[in-house]
Amino acid sequence: MLHLAAELAVLCDNVAAVGWRRHPKESAQQSEQQVLDREFAASSENGLLEDNVRHHQLIIRAVSELQQIMSTSVYIHLFVNMINVCSHIFVISVVLLETDEMAVVVSTACSLAVFLSGIALYCVIGHTIIDQSERLPEAVYSSGWTGADMSFRRSVSILLVRASQPLSITVGKMRVLSKPTFVQVLNGSYTLFNFLYRTQSDKEQRERLGLQES
């Protein structure tokens, strides 16, 4: 995933640099060598843009294959980690309220940090892919297409249409790996923790009432 984000960053830089090495149009009085140089530069820029289009297609294919491979496993990983985060927070709250065993609190907090980092790693890198793919249309606009020939402009139009759809990785066919997904996982953990905590509080309250009645 991180490699794909880096590939997108390289692609954006390459696309933004294409077209600016073309010789500007000059007056009608120019030597044959100048005409040949300008035509060679134009053909070279067209070739570079075509290479970038093929590079973008390879990245799209790689994102699609990666999504197929990791969709189910990462979704299960996020779900299990959400439950682990909830259980660890619940353990910490119970220990702090009922006992003074700080060693248990510290060890549980360390485990909690590991599970949180496992969730954040996937979501942050997935969001980086989205951010880099959203930079691509701006990079296309920044290329030297204004003074280019029709072939170059046509390739720019094709790349721009495809780049207008940001790339992302969806897991479980419902969750896109991104920072909002990380927040949703934390919200889910808090919801489970709140349910467990209220259940535990109601149980303790019923036990107190039973002791008072007896």
Both structure tokens of 118: 């496992």
Q: Are strands 175-176 and 170-171 parallel, antiparallel or unpaired?
A: antiparallel
Q: What is the mean pLDDT of residues 173-185?
A: 91
**One-letter amino acid for residue 27 of the chain:** S
Q: Where are the domains of the chain?
A: 2-203
d(CA 5, CA 131): 9
Cβ pair 133, 8 in contact under 8 A: yes
pLDDT over 50 (residue 90): yes
3-state secondary structure of 181: helix
Q: Which of 75, 71, 67 is nearest to 185 (CA)?
A: 75
pLDDT over 70 (residue 165): yes
**One-letter amino acid for residue 164 of the chain:** S
pLDDT over 80 (residue 202): no
Place of tokens 């075509």: 50
N residues, the chain = 214
pLDDT-derived band at 200, boundaries 50, 70, 90? confident
Cβ pair 53, 158 in contact under 8 A: yes
Q: What is the mean pLDDT of residues 142-170?
A: 81
Q: For the chain, percent helix, then strand, then coil, each to nearest 5?
A: 80, 0, 15
Between residues 115 and 209, the one the model is more confident about: 115
Q: What is the mean pLDDT of residues 197-206?
A: 78
Name residues whose C-beta falls within 8 Å of residue 155's C-beta, 6 or more positions apart in sequence. 46, 49, 50, 53
Least confident of 30-39, 99-108, 111-120, 122-131: 30-39
Confidence at residue 197, expressed as pLDDT on a 0 to 100 scale: 83
Contacts of 156-160 with CB under 8 Å at 24 or more apart are 156/49, 158/53, 159/15, 159/49, 159/52, 159/53, 159/56
Q: By percentage, how much of the chain surpasses pLDDT 90?
A: 28
Confidence at residue 121, expressed as pLDDT on a 0 to 100 scale: 92
pLDDT over 90 (residue 94): no
**One-letter amino acid for residue 192 of the chain:** L
pLDDT in tens, 189-199: 989 888 888 88
pLDDT over 70 (residue 172): yes
**One-letter amino acid for residue 107 of the chain:** S
pLDDT in tens, 18-53: 765 554 444 444 455 444 444 444 567 777 878 888
Q: Which of 101, 109, 74 is nearest to 181 (CA)?
A: 74
Cβ pair 143, 18 in contact under 8 A: yes
